[in-house]
Amino acid sequence: MVLNPEEKWSFEEMIDPKHTALIVVDMQNDYCSSNGDSCKQGRDIGMTQRMTPKLARFLTHCRSLRLSVIHTRNVHSEFSDTPVWKRRSGGKISSVARLNSWGANWFEDYPEFTPRSEEYVIDKHRYSAFINTDLEIVLKAKGIRTVLMTGTATNVCVESTARHALMLDYHVVLVNDCCATYSKVLQEATELNIQNHFGMTVPSDKIVSVWAETYKIDSARNVDEPVS
């Protein structure tokens, strides 16, 4: 594909696998499992659990095209719990995603969420995956211009990272059926906010259909190898 100048890219050009990365945000036990601390603390994880098979399938498609895949993982500990961070949680040390805990591990119900050896992992201590991490360096080193934002929670870590990405001059695509939060109101507010100010809000099937047409992959294919 011969690309137009970047400011004139079509959607098809914007999500060209050569310069697109999938960012999978915080698919960890504490945020996704009914045995995780988010659920135990009373948060409704129903939307997250309904979203996870869609994201697992979309991740399989991305891997089939050899997209750059980057996983972010929240990790909290005494080394990152500043007074401001403690105040944010009511003065308590949050039990969610604690260092070396089961809850901080990848969501065990879906093996797709365990990073592969060639996929990069960002350990983060704040909502945005760019804060005090090497995410920007990794994106630049791989020549990435577009980020596909997925994961949990839509209105917190996903949105914070998406906003940051735009302000660092990346094209942002929120894959709205592959991210979830704790209420429909919060989900829809973030989708609208991203669409109006920070990027595009697009369902995964639209992205897969573009790839299927442009790169001749089967949109129903559920394998892990690229189509020859």
Q: Residue 172 phi/psi, 5° resolution?
A: -115, 125
Segments of the chain with pLDDT less than 50: 219-228
Q: Could you tell me whether strands 200-202 and 120-124 are parallel, antiparallel, or unpaired per DSSP bridges? A: unpaired
In DSSP notation, 175-225 reads EEEEEE-S-HHHHHHHHHHIIIIISEEE-HHHHHHHHHHHH---TT---SS
Q: Are 44 and 121 in contact (CB under 8 A)?
A: no
Q: What is the pLDDT of residue 121?
A: 98
Q: What is the pLDDT, as a whole number, of residue 18?
A: 95
- Tell me what pLDDT residue 1 has: 58
What's the pLDDT score for residue 84?
87
- At residue 87, the pLDDT reads 77
- pLDDT of the residue at 88: 73
The per-residue pLDDT for range 128-184, each reduced to its tens digit, is: 999 999 999 999 999 999 999 999 999 999 999 999 999 999 999 999 999 999 999
Q: Which CATH superfamily is domain 16-215 in?
A: Isochorismatase-like (3.40.50.850)
Phi and psi at residue 226, in whole multiples of 5°?
-65, 150
pLDDT in the model for residue 216: 67
Neighbouring CB atoms inside 10 A of 155's CB total 22
Spans of all domains in the chain: 16-215
pTM over 0.85: yes
Angle at 37 between CA 36 and CA 41, to 5 degrees: 130
pLDDT the model gives residue 86 = 77
Catalytic center residues = 26, 124, 157
Residue 4 is predicted with a pLDDT of 83
Residues for the chain: how many in total? 228
